[in-house]
Amino acid sequence: MEKRRAAAVSVPIATHADGSEAQCWAKLERLRIQWARHRDVDEQFIETLNDLKRIRAWERIPPEQPYGSLDAMSRAELGVPVAMIERSVTAFLSKNGGDRRSDKFQFDNCQTETPSALGGNSVVYLRALLVRDNKPIADALARGEFRSVRQAAIAAGIVTPKPTVTHRATPEGFYDSAKKHLTADQIEHLVEMLEAAP
């Protein structure tokens, strides 16, 4: 077992087949190192934990006698019960603010909409919210039933899509766009608002 484990962690994780024993060992080693280094969670830790949950690593490793549960695996490999890990994940997801300047944040969080007052719309954050708050949709996402994490978050009601309306920067362009996207009552209300404006 130790040779297979060592071999699995000596090559990039991406080279392992999804759900394979080698991938389980590699992901578990990444999680173990992250926990040992920080004794806390971050987005990368949550993503690795969610991957281990998705592939149900505790049912595959060790192959001779699998851990049997996420809690048993957590206790054996991280030295803490899974409840402690889950509390740390919940606390991380509940924090307001955080990284707003790094290139990674700017890439992950394009600010097109805010799924909650507590965080951004990065893939990792949305996936963690789905796992925590809407397990059936998170499972459907893992099975490939959604095109993206964002689509799953929309289905779960975590993200509300906001349509973008573009028009020429002229009164005529605005009028054409209003006719295309608004009901007659909404246009009437808009006209009343414009007439009442100073």
Each residue of 124-179: pLDDT tens digit? 888 888 888 889 998 998 888 888 888 899 999 888 877 777 777 888 888 888 88
pLDDT of residue 120: 60
| Beta partners for residue 119, in sequence order | 116
Q: Cβ(146)–Cβ(155) under 8 Å?
A: yes
| Residue 15 burial (CB count, 10 A) | 10
Each residue of 98-134: pLDDT tens digit? 444 444 444 444 444 444 444 566 788 888 888 888 8
Can you give the residue ranges of every domain in the chain?
A: 2-94, 103-156, 164-198
Burial 18-57, CB ≥16 within 10 A → b, else e: eeebbbbbbbbbbbbebbeeeeebebebbbbbbbbebbeb
Each residue of 9-40: pLDDT tens digit? 777 877 888 888 888 888 888 888 888 877 77
Whether residue 182 has pLDDT greater than 90: no
pLDDT of residue 104: 47
Phi, psi dihedral angles at 116 (to 5 degrees): -160, 170
pLDDT of residue 103: 47
Burial 69-107, CB ≥16 within 10 A → b, else e: ebbebbeebbeeebeebbebbeebbeeeeeeeeeeeeee
Tokens 């040779």 locate to 3
